[in-house]
Amino acid sequence: MLHYEKEFDPAVGARASAQHRASGYAADDEVYVFDDERLVLAVNVALKTGRPLLLFGPPGSGKSSLAPNVARELGWNYYAHVVTARTEPEDLLWRFDAMKRLNDAQAKALGAMEIYYPKGPLWRAFEEGSTGRRCVVLIDEIDKADPDLPNSLLGPLGSLSFPLPWDDSSQVSVTEEHAPLIVVTTNDDRELPRPFLRRCIVFELSPPSRGHLLRVAEQHLGRHYDEERAGRIADLLLEIRSSRADDPAGPSTAEYLDALKASQQLGVSPGTREWSVLEAVTLLKRRDGAGRAV
């Protein structure tokens, strides 16, 4: 057990509370098992230093689902932006609606400039922080963007302010006390700029262990949890992962839950003919040269 003063203090290694729907199953985004004390410490370091938390790790290791669950635990608002190759640096602050402005100009009905700049997640988080409401902001898959994008964040995140796009003399700002927690994820497809890395708290998530899979299954399935079935399917998932030296990610936790819930609800047990089909469509999802699932 790690001992320190925590701002973020979820139950670690204990049963997390999950709100189950009428079906008895929790939704995918309603449960996060905080069973890694190092990760909890990393979140607290990011909170206390005001630095972004940059998460590395294989697909399916829980990078993207951390931020909304931290927000839920803290009782903070949550915003997210999924980065693509088309994401522009300013998109995290605002988007300029050129079409709306053109249409209004042609109709001789131009409005105030702010209506042509929809607010991005950082603008919303800064704005809410200025009223005392703190936020968690997820910037997902930042490595998909041009290197200019991470570097463009250094100014706003460093100063906790940025000028209005139509008025350089006016600022959107937030105090350190009410600054958002920024969580950034990367699949490491592209190397991130060194200046950006130096300004982040960096943590690498590991592929899920057998114990972690069982704890996640217990929280998601609630009263439907069958430890023997969950353990058998977890073992099969880990076998698939170990057999794929070229794909260290392997099946994800979400795919494990799909296989487990389908197995339970359909009455399909591992080792049967029906299981071979269920496994192929939920866990394997790859074909060999002959078209067989591998």
Q: What is the tens place of the pLDDT at every residue in 92-146?
A: 999 988 888 788 778 877 777 788 899 999 999 999 999 999 999 999 999 999 8
Q: Name the pairing type of β-strands 201-204 and 53-56.
A: parallel
Nearest-angstrom CA–CA distance, 235 and 258: 15
pLDDT of residue 248: 62
SS3 state of residue 120: coil
- 159: buried, middle or exposed (CB in 10 Å: 19+, 13-18, 0-12)? exposed
Edge to edge, the sheet with strand 201-204 lists 77-82, 135-140, 181-185, 53-56, 201-204
SS3 readout for 167-179: EEEEEEECCHHHC
| 274 token code pair | 């029906």
Q: Which two tokens mark 55?
A: 């998460």
Distances (CA, A) of 179 to 52, 96, 242, 251: 11, 25, 42, 36
Question: The tokens of 100 are what?
Answer: 């709306």
Sign of CA pseudo-dihedral 135, 141, 142, 145: negative
**Which residue positions in the chain have pLDDT lower than 50?**
14, 16-17, 289-291
CB 138 within 8 A of CB 68: yes
End-to-end CA gap in the chain: 40
Distance between CA 113 and CA 237 in Å, rounded? 54
- Find residue 201's DSSP bridge partners: 53
